[in-house]
Homo-oligomer: A and B are copies of this chain.
Amino acid sequence: MTKAEILSKLNLEELIGTPFENMIDITKIKRGSSVYYERLKEFNTCYIIEGHIQHIVYTPDGGEFYRDLYEDEITGVNFCFSKKISQERFRLFDVDIVAKEDSKIAYLPLDKIMDLEFKGKSAVLKKLIMMGVEDHFKEFKYLLLKNVYSDEQFFIKHLEKCQTIDIGSTRIISEHLNINLRTLQRLLKNLQDQGIIERTGDKLSIKDPVKLGKYKEKFEK
């Protein structure tokens, strides 16, 4: 995938041929490796060309929050502009990017667009507003639902949506859903003991929808 193709994928064709195109940096990252923190400070926006990466957000006292990202997703749209607001954001949250599979990513310093002059800039600024809003809604929706629902409800909703979950290890699901590992293990054991879910090889699925329906009644007000 060329830089022009990435811009085209992102619906930012106006930037093809501008100095911004050369600011894009395409990199391969090996499964399990992490992006240097210093590099991340410089480039906050990251488009996943292929693979699977994970954002880890750290709070000052050791809390961790995970976000999984896959092919054709872009992350950090709001983060990259935050430099212009405040230099202090890194005091609140440290961020790391880890490749969960061999991946290819493109760093896009979207914030630089604000200071460039080129034809169609106004259209691009509009699109940046929309990209920021989309990113906001993705995170807002996820975080809000995590807040409103208990870990148990959140897991069941996820299972109902996916029907089958590939389970390499419970740790992967624990990170993906931001549920404490021991809480998740207890929950899975409980649901299996009651015959509500079952594990076949590497797959986790709903065994008895009627029992699940009954189980869910306890969440109702």
Contact = CB atoms under 8 A, between A and B. Distances in A.
B134 A133 contact: no
Interface in A112-152: 114, 121-122, 125-126, 128-130, 132-137, 139-141, 143-149
A141 to B, nearest CB: 7
A113 B212 CA distance: 49
Given A59-B148, A121-B122, A140-B139, A129 B130 contact: no
A89 interface: yes
Q: How large is the interface on A (under 10, 10 to 19, 20 to 34, 35 or more residues)?
A: 35 or more
20 contacts: A59-B144, A59-B149, A61-B219, A61-B220, A62-B221, A64-B148, A81-B129, A81-B130, A84-B130, A85-B130, A85-B133, A85-B134, A93-B144, A122-B125, A125-B126, A125-B129, A132-B132, A136-B136, A139-B140, A140-B140
In the A-B complex, list the 6 residue pairs whose CB atoms are closest, starting with the nearest. Answer: A63-B148, A143-B143, A125-B125, A78-B136, A136-B136, A81-B133
Interface of A: 57, 59, 61-65, 78, 81-82, 84-85, 89, 92-93, 114, 121-122, 125-126, 128-130, 132-137, 139-141, 143-149, 178, 219-221
